[in-house]
Amino acid sequence: MSAYILRRLLATFPVMAVVAIFVFVLLRLAPGDPAALIAGDDATAADIANIRTRLGLDLPIWHQFVIWIGGILQGDLGVSIFSNLPVTRLIAQRLEPTLMLALATLIVAVSLAVPLGVLAAWKAKSLVDRIVMGFSVMGFAVPVFLAGYVLIYIFAIQLRWLPVQGYKPLADGFWASIQSLVLPAIALGTAYMALIARITRASMLEVLSQDYIRTANSKGLATERVLLLHALKNAAVPIVTIIGIGIALLISGVVITETVFNIPGLGRLTVDAVLKRDYPIVQGLILVFAMTKVFINLMVDISYAFLDPRIRY
C-alpha cells in the first residue's frame, strides 16, 4: 500500500514540471508587451526599456525560465506588475474565501448527492427515483449565475434569511462565515450534485444486480448494510472519480460564483489579473490551480487502493 502511494506521489512530479513549462511558455507567447502595458499610454521608449529590464523581460527566454523556476521552488511566484506586491501574498490573501467556498460546496454536494443517488438506485423506477433524477437533470441544466441570482432573490432579498452578497472571513466567527457561504455553495454545487447523484445511481444500479449482492441478501443482512457496505463500496470507484473530476469543474465555476456573490477570492483575482494582463499573478494562479488538480488526482488514486483491493498498479 505505501509503495503504491509513494509511486503515485512520484508520478506527480513530471506532471508538475510539464505544467510549469507549459504555463511559462504559454504566457510568453501571448500577444501584447507587458512592459508597454505597464508603462502606460504616454511612456517613452526608454521608460519601456527600463521596465523591461526591471522585470527581466530582456533576458534570453531560457534564462527567464531558470529564474522563474528557481523562484517557484523557493515559494516565490514573482511580483505583481501593477501592485508590486508578491504574488504569493496576493494569492494567500484571497485563498480563504475560495477554499471555504470550495470546501462547503464539496461537503454539501457529496453529502447530499451520494445518499440521494443510493436511494434512487435502491428504489429504482419509483417516485423517489423519478424525483431525484428529475432534479438531477434540472440541476445540470441550470447555469451557475442563474442559480445564484435566483437564490439571492428568494433567500436573501425576499425571505431575508441569508446575506445577499459578500464573504465573512472565519475570523468574524464560524457561523457568520458559513452563512455567507450557504447560497454560493448551493449555486455552485447544484450542477456538481446533479452529476454525482447521477453517477452514484448508475454505479449503484449496476452493482445491485451483481451476484454478491444476492449473496449478501441471502445472509439476511440489514438493508443498510447491504446498500452502504456491500454495494456502495463496490460502486465507489466511479463515484470518487467523478467527485475528483467535478472539483476541476468547480474551479471554473468558482470564478463565476465569486463574481455573482461578490466574494473576494481567487476567482476574482484571476479575472482581474487576466484583464490587466498581470502575467506573474496569472502564472501563479494557473500553477496553484494545476497543483490543486494534481493533488486531487493523487487523493483519488490513493482512495482507489483503499476502496478496491484488486487495484495495484
For another protein, the closer of residues 234 and 297 by Cβ is 234
| Min separation Cβ 219 and another protein, Å | 3
* Neighbour-count burial of 172, counting CB atoms closer than 10 A to its CB (0-12 exposed, 13-18 middle, 19+ buried): exposed
> Rounded to whole angstroms, how far apart are CA atoms 195 and 112?
12
Helix (H, G, I), strand (E, B) or coil at 79: strand
> Rounded to whole angstroms, how far apart are CA atoms 280 and 270?
11
| Min separation Cβ 213 and another protein, Å | 8
- Whether the CB-CB separation of 180 and 264 falls below 8 Å is answered with no
| Min separation Cβ 245 and another protein, Å | 22
Provide Rg for the chain, Cα atoms: 24
Of 95, 112, 120, the C-alpha closest to 170 is 95
| Min separation Cβ 310 and another protein, Å | 5
For another protein, the closer of residues 103 and 229 by Cβ is 229
For another protein, the closer of residues 89 and 312 by Cβ is 312
| Min separation Cβ 3 and another protein, Å | 18
Q: Give the interface with another protein as residue ranges (CB under 8 A).
A: 124-125, 210-212, 214-222, 225, 229-230, 233-234, 307-310
For another protein, the closer of residues 216 and 256 by Cβ is 216
Helix axes 87-122, 279-307, angle to 10 degrees: 40
For another protein, the closer of residues 127 and 222 by Cβ is 222
> Rounded to whole angstroms, how far apart are CA atoms 235 and 205?
9
Kindly report the backbone phi and psi dihedral angles of residue 86, in degrees, each rounded to the nearest multiple of 5, phi listed first: -60, 135
For another protein, the closer of residues 175 and 313 by Cβ is 313
| Min separation Cβ 230 and another protein, Å | 5
| Min separation Cβ 233 and another protein, Å | 5
The total of other beta-carbon atoms located within 10 Å of residue 221's CB is 14
Of 253, 239, 270, 291, the C-alpha closest to 101 is 253
> Rounded to whole angstroms, how far apart are CA atoms 96 and 93?
7
For another protein, the closer of residues 50 and 210 by Cβ is 210
